[in-house]
Structure 1
Amino acid sequence: MRIGEVSRKFNLSKDTIRYYIKIGLIVPDLDNNYFYFSDRDIEDIEWIKKLRAMDFSLNEIHKVLSLKRVSNWVETEDIRDYLDILKEKKSQLIPTIMKLEKTISDIDSEMLKFHGNDVFPNKKTGLPLYGMKYIYCPFCQVPLKINNVDMNHEYIFNGQLSCTCNYSAQIRDGIIITPNKNTSFFDKPDISRELYKDIPPHLISLYQKSYNWMINKINETIDENDVVMETHINAYYFLYKHFNQIKRNPLFIIVDKFPEMLAMYKEKSEHLSPNPDVIYIADNSMDLPLKHQSVGMFIDYFGSNEHNIFFDSSLLCSLKKYFAGNSKIIGTYFSFNKNSKSNKKLKLEYPENYINNFDFQFFLKSLQDCNFKMLEKNHIGSTTISGDNLAFSFHIDGENLYMDSFLAQTGGQELV
């Protein structure tokens, strides 16, 4: 039998068979540079397959075959030696089996714990009643009136908001929905979270490094009565991942252009324990139905980048009217080198992209121009490979993508 026939018979590659020959596991005849496999060689391969299935290493199999080759399997001593080898292998496998059985039991317990996503039963939430004191006409800056209310003792679930200036908005399933809807053809709600898929582990590690820094700064600087705001969660939603790590229990304001994204995250947040108090606002403008100077802390994780993909204004400068005196801005900015090919590709994929987007120095200058004070900066790191994903489809491999976290303030001593 030739090597090709043996390969097909035992479903072994020719390279594997040649390796077995090289180390002496099988010893076929060689004639004119061709191997010929006898019935003895076929039997040896059958033994190799059988012993491999019993988790024997190639070295251990070689010892068994050597014993077989010097014995007719009738000598009591040789049979005893082979039985001792089998007993030793069995004794080696028993702890592994016990460990695997425990691992399977642990997996079953973990699956039971998370089965049906009911780690915590969901509690239907809405606009917190005490949050109404922050709901103002964006133009007149007076409290909005509410009619046709569906509510309980904690939350407003449905209602109609209006002002004498004819501004109006709806509360639908606990979400404030304004007339300002998405108008870009280049954006859509990422309900299936494609942004998070296929991001390489080394970039996720950079994310985590930035998360750790930001959480520390949040807990160091948050005040008892701060209102904490985050926008553009269709890109990244920092707070959702970290509600339970924030030491105090502030009121949160979450804004996005897509009601579908807010509804999805609202439902997910209703499984958290304890439930965070959140005002959800669906709005695509910078004229939000909020009271000016009410936000004590703003979270900007990729938010400024996302905003500038579709608008040429500064996100933080545009929202500054909602920030209280000495409000803290804690975020992470993503950037490329100036005139990078990635910037050009970004413009091709998103024609509305602002020319100065992903430019950290320009971002810092825009904060300074709007009288924000930079208190701390932390260079998180960079990567030249961001993976095959939607989040950074415009990033060209080999070019640096930088991440810089920062703490800024609407007043205070600026970092030198």
Structure 2
Amino acid sequence: MKIGKFGQVNNITVDTIRHYMDMGLLVPEKKGGQYYFDDNCQKDLEMIMEFKTMGFSLNEIKTVLIFKNLGMLAGYEENAYFQSLFNHKYEKIAEEIAKLSAANKKIKKKIEEYNEKPGHTKVPMGIDISYLSLLCCPKCGEPLTLENGTINRNQIIEGELACHCRTYKVEAGILITGTLNDIIPISNADDYISEYILNTDPFYLETLQKGLQTLKRKITGLNLESKVILEPGTGVGFLLRTIYDALPDSCIYIAVDHNIEKQKFLKGLLERTGIKKNILFICSDFSEIPIKKHSTDIIIDHAGTSNYSFEHTDFLLEILDEFIKKEAYLLGTYLAFKNFSTTSKVLPQYRDNFIPSKIRGKIEALHFELLEETTSDLISKGGRYEDYFVFGEEVFNYLFIGKR
């Protein structure tokens, strides 16, 4: 019978039959460009299917078929061969079962251990009353005062902060300077991290992890006591969650992002740790951050400038410079391109901010003296959430640590 009929009779696909043929498991007769499957093919297929149910791999089955068809074993030889074959397979499967059983018991024990652990008490996070001394209106520069709101343990959870010209909303402990209509929500926020990991190239994730650990070592190597830290473009907080435990209680970390959903997601994660740190969440455009001039001791630019640069020609740190003290540290990680394709998603007018030499020049123009710079390995694949480069382009991370 022909291949289609053979597959139909045995309830397997033509692709599967062709795969078996490519491996030499099935050897049909070829006539005039067509393959014909006889009784021998049927018997071989039945043997393949039977051996697969016993846990034999296709390569193991191929060896059996070679002995069977090529060796033409005598009755007693065939009996001895198959006894040895099945005994060996039986012992191997028994070993695998024992290993899986032991692994299953260990997993069950871990489940029981985690079930017995008490859950962390959620620690509400809002705008501490003491943070008001850092805040001011980005339009008129006047201090912001609490007009009305809900306060929990000296933290503003809901309410309004105002000056003589504007009123700013506090929602879920986050200070908002824009309108929610301007902010793009993320779908399935609770699954975002899992989806990101599953839909991002493994080497890209490995490079990201290495970069985060390097940056953590550099940040925690500084004196953070009583310092004000600013991170523009916090996103879902890959960096903040990495360094969170290491932040001293006396420092204030200002997390700025324009996406309220990402801010709520990150804030919820940190609250569920049961650990309280001084985090000021601000949802705003970078041009409207409501903090006082020259109030920041350390700026952590973890891809904030890079994400901004996909749609802007100006350099983000130049906009933020008014918030940074004359004596300050900069720890920056920047996306950089080794080359730009003719089909690049980065338009020519934006490319300077993705070239390390240009980035360094703009940073040094802000009077930051280079203390250290490094680059990561080249990356050629991103993923669903990291699709800012196209086939043929290679990107890497450029780390700049500076002081002024």
Q: TM-score, length-normalised on structure 2?
A: 0.79
Q: Which residue is equivalent to 1:389?
A: 384
Q: Aligned-pair distance for 1:158? A: 1.8
Q: Aligned-pair distance for 1:54? A: 0.9
Compare 188-197 and 238-247 and name the one that shifted more.
Answer: 188-197
Answer whether contact 1:300 1:329 (CA < 8 A) is retained: yes
Q: Aligned-pair distance for 1:126? A: 1.4
Compared CA separation, residues 329 and 103, structure 1 to 2 (3 A): same
Q: Of the candidates 385, 401, 406, which is equivalent to residue 395 of structure 2?
A: 401
Answer whether contact 2:126 2:174 (CA < 8 A) is retained: yes
Measure, in 1, the Cα distance between the counterparts of 2:20 and 2:244: 57
Answer whether contact 2:123 2:274 (CA < 8 A) is retained: no
Q: SS at the partner of 1:291?
A: coil
Compare 208-217 and 63-72 and name the one that shifted more.
Answer: 63-72
Q: Which residue is equivalent to 1:369?
A: 365
Q: Aligned-pair distance for 1:280? A: 0.8
Measure, in 1, the Cα distance between the counterparts of 2:73 and 2:91: 26
Compared CA separation, residues 169 and 2, structure 1 to 2 (3 A): closer
Q: Percent identity?
A: 21
Compared CA separation, residues 15 and 146, structure 1 to 2 (3 A): closer
Q: Which residue is equivalent to 1:334?
A: 335
Compared CA separation, residues 114 and 304, structure 1 to 2 (3 A): farther
Compare 331-340 and 316-325 and name the one that shifted more.
Answer: 331-340
Answer whether contact 2:309 2:315 (CA < 8 A) is retained: yes
Q: SS at the partner of 1:406?
A: strand
Answer whether contact 1:181 1:284 (CA < 8 A) is retained: no
Q: Which residue is equivalent to 1:359?
A: 355
Measure, in 2, the Cα distance between the counterparts of 1:245 and 1:221: 15
Root-mean-square deviation (CA, aligned residues, Å) is 3.9
Q: Which residue is equivalent to 2:298?
A: 297
Q: Aligned-pair distance for 1:333? A: 1.0
Answer whether contact 2:26 2:45 (CA < 8 A) is retained: yes
Where does the alignment leave 5 or more consecutive residues of structure 2 unmatched? none
Q: Which residue is equivalent to 2:61?
A: 58
Is 1:379 matched up with 2:375? yes
Q: Aligned-pair distance for 1:63? A: 8.1
Measure, in 1, the Cα distance between the counterparts of 2:35 and 2:285: 74
Measure, in 2, the Cα distance between the counterparts of 1:32 and 1:397: 43
1:170-216 CA deviation, whole Å, 9 max, x = no partner? 222211112x44897xx834455587763322222222232122111
Q: Which residue is equivalent to 2:168?
A: 169
Amino acid aligned to 2:300: I
Q: What is the total number of aligned residue pairs between the two structures?
A: 390
Q: Aligned-pair distance for 1:330? A: 0.9
Compared CA separation, residues 19 and 114, structure 1 to 2 (3 A): same
Amino acid aligned to 2:367: N
Amino acid aligned to 2:169: Q
Compared CA separation, residues 166 and 29, structure 1 to 2 (3 A): closer
Compare 8-17 and 47-56 and name the one that shifted more.
Answer: 8-17
Measure, in 1, the Cα distance between the counterparts of 2:397 and 2:369: 20
Measure, in 1, the Cα distance between the counterparts of 2:308 and 2:34: 69
Q: Aligned-pair distance for 1:49? A: 2.1
Measure, in 1, the Cα distance between the counterparts of 2:359 and 2:266: 29
Answer whether contact 2:180 2:260 (CA < 8 A) is retained: no
Q: Aligned-pair distance for 1:81? A: 6.4
Amino acid aligned to 1:225: S
